[in-house]
Amino acid sequence: MNIENLPEILKVCGLSSVATYGVMEALKPLIKMVTTNWKKSAIRLAALACGGCWGFYLGETAESTIAGVCGAALSSVIVAKVKSSLRDRPSD
């Protein structure tokens, strides 16, 4: 990876993260209906696949595909952290 490509890679990562969040919020109920035992794993794998597709679509290189997968993973981590913070919040 060249340092000149870094802004493009970061852009792909950020856009893939946001796009994956939106797509997965729409697909999550369908995935939960289809799968029974592996709901969380199936959702996370679908998110990574979606991020990789977005990354490839945006940059059409292996680096942008990897950035898309990383963006999807970042999105999953942020959503999990926010949900756990809201769940652990003391009730009024």
Q: Would you state the pLDDT for residue 1?
A: 58
Predicted TM-score (pTM) of the model is 0.75
d(CA 65, CA 13): 9
Supply the mean pLDDT for the chain. Answer: 84
- Tell me the per-residue pLDDT of 35-76, one tens digit each, with 9 for 90 and over: 777 887 888 888 889 888 888 998 888 888 888 898 888 888
d(CA 57, CA 3): 21
d(CA 7, CA 34): 39
